[in-house]
């Protein structure tokens, strides 16, 4: 066995010479590759001066185009800004009289022009230049350009006539009556059902249900502005509907603070648990309330809360 191993690891003379020769070749190739670039430096191609100038101008032009395109893509360009870049000719005008096309001529898009007309209708016409600037599609820059040309010669008045539970709204100008007449449903907010509320422009199924739900929680509305307390019922929607509703405050359901327990009081949106508990404890300690003013003596009660809450309270 030792002889076998010895024979396996031993080389003949020819094998030793082959290994040495192969090692020498590999070493030579390594050094040749390392020093080749130093020994054989390639000659640079000769360029004509005119050719160099020509290609240099092309590269400069391409760089400018890429830079310009990148700069343009970084800018946020609003549609209104594109419209503003057009040449606009301004002239004296009455914002209560001009129509959609005239607003478009002043640089507004068709959608913006319609928004201006809708806003004019919602506020019953522009009374002053400031009213024009209140429209959300007219920014301060645009208003500064329009303002010198605005002349409000027509003041719009709106007269209401009640006929068969409807309100007829007639639009009047100075010294003359216009032919435009609009009819709308006249709704009492504390009696109306969802169908009647849906007849008012600006109130859909969602807000119809929300108005009734909040009315039930309150015990009824005592002023129109309480609609703004409904989630997401903003001032724009309020302006659309406020002229088409009335409120009869005698429909309000009131809480008797001499009888109600804290669990009943807290069901009202304006009363938190701490105030409800304090109202009951004060009654137990001092006897029944003689007037609503007495409830101001309850420590958590503030003037602002009392002002909001008093229409819903009674002592008898």
- Is residue 162's pLDDT more than 50? no
Res 168: pLDDT:
38
- Is residue 1's pLDDT more than 80? no
Give me the number of domains the chain comprises: 4
Q: How confident is the model at residue 289 (pLDDT cuts 50, 70, 90)?
A: very high
Boundary (domain end) residue, out of 220, 236, 251: 251
- Is residue 270's pLDDT more than 90? yes
End-to-end CA distance of the chain: 123
Question: Does residue 306 share a domain with residue 272?
Answer: yes
58 in any annotated domain: no
More confident residue, 12 or 273: 273
Across 154-163, 244-253, 303-312, which has the greatest mean pLDDT? 303-312
Q: How confident is the model at residue 25 (pLDDT cuts 50, 70, 90)?
A: confident
User: Is residue 23 classed exposed, middle or buried when 0-12, 13-18 and 19+ CB atoms within 10 A define those classes?
Assistant: exposed
Res 62: pLDDT:
65
DSSP character at residue 44: P
296 in any annotated domain: yes
> How large is the average pLDDT for residues 207-221?
95
Boundary (domain end) residue, out of 167, 185, 203: 185
Question: Does residue 235 share a domain with residue 206?
Answer: yes
35 in any annotated domain: no
Question: Does residue 268 share a domain with residue 218?
Answer: no
195 in any annotated domain: yes
Q: Where are the beta strands (DSSP E) in 208-275?
A: 245-246, 255-256
Distance of CA 234 to the CA centre of its chain: 12
Question: Does residue 127 share a domain with residue 100?
Answer: yes
Question: Does residue 201 share a domain with residue 168?
Answer: no
Q: How confident is the model at residue 78 (pLDDT cuts 50, 70, 90)?
A: very low
The CATH number assigned to the domain holding 209 equals 1.10.150.320
Q: How confident is the model at residue 206 (pLDDT cuts 50, 70, 90)?
A: very high
Question: Does residue 144 share a domain with residue 85?
Answer: yes
Res 16: pLDDT:
76
**For the whole model, what pTM was predicted?**
0.45
133 in any annotated domain: yes
| Domain membership of residue 175 as a residue range | 156-185
> How large is the average pLDDT for residues 155-179?
39
- Is residue 121's pLDDT more than 80? yes
> How large is the average pLDDT for residues 138-163?
69
Question: Does residue 209 share a domain with residue 181?
Answer: no
298 in any annotated domain: yes
- Is residue 183's pLDDT more than 70? no
> How large is the average pLDDT for residues 201-207?
90
Res 296: pLDDT:
93
91 in any annotated domain: yes
8 Å CB contact between 313 and 257: yes
More confident residue, 66 or 13: 13
Res 14: pLDDT:
76
Residues 264, 276: Cα–Cα separation, whole Å: 8
Question: Does residue 192 share a domain with residue 180?
Answer: no
User: Is residue 132 classed exposed, middle or buried when 0-12, 13-18 and 19+ CB atoms within 10 A define those classes?
Assistant: buried
Question: Does residue 146 share a domain with residue 85?
Answer: yes
Boundary (domain end) residue, out of 104, 133, 153: 153
Q: Where are the beta strands (DSSP E) in 174-279?
A: 176-185, 187-188, 245-246, 255-256
Q: How confident is the model at residue 225 (pLDDT cuts 50, 70, 90)?
A: very high
Question: Does residue 201 share a domain with residue 160?
Answer: no
174 in any annotated domain: yes
Question: Does residue 273 share a domain with residue 290?
Answer: yes
Question: Does residue 213 share a domain with residue 178?
Answer: no
Residues 311, 253: Cα–Cα separation, whole Å: 9
- Percent of the residues in the chain that have a pLDDT greater than 70, as a whole number: 69
């Amino acid at each position: 066995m030792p002889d076998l191993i010895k024979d396996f690891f031993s080389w003949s003379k020819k094998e030793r010479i082959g290994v040495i020769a192969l090692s020498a070749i590999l070493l030579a190739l390594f050094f040749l590759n390392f020093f080749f670039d130093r020994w054989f430096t390639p000659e640079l191609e000769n360029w004509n001066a005119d050719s160099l100038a020509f290609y240099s101008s092309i590269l400069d032009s391409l760089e400018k185009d890429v830079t310009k395109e990148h700069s343009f893509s970084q800018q946020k360009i609003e549609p209104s800004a594109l419209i503003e870049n057009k040449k606009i000719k301004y002239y004296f005008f009455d914002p209560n009289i001009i129509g959609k096309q005239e607003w478009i001529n002043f640089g507004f898009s068709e959608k913006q022009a319609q928004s201006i007309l809708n806003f004019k209708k919602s506020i019953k016409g522009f009374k002053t230049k400031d009213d024009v600037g209140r429209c959300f599609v007219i920014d301060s820059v645009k208003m500064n350009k329009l303002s010198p040309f605005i002349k409000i010669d027509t003041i719009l008045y709106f007269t209401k006539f009640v006929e068969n539970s409807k309100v007829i709204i007639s639009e009047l100008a100075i010294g003359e009556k216009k032919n435009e007449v609009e009819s709308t449903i006249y709704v009492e907010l504390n009696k109306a059902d969802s169908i009647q509320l849906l007849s008012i422009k600006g109130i859909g199924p969602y807000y119809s249900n929300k108005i009734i739900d909040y009315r039930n929680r309150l015990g009824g509305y005592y002023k129109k502005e309480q609609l703004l307390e409904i989630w997401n019922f903003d001032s724009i929607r309020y302006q659309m509907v406020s002229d088409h509703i009335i409120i009869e405050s005698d429909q309000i359901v009131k809480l008797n603070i001499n009888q109600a327990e804290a669990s009943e009081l807290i069901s009202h949106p304006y009363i938190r648990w701490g105030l409800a508990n304090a109202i009951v404890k004060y009654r137990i300690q001092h006897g029944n309330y003689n007037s609503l003013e007495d409830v101001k003596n309850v420590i958590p009660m503030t003037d602002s809360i009392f002002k909001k809450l008093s229409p819903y309270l009674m002592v008898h």
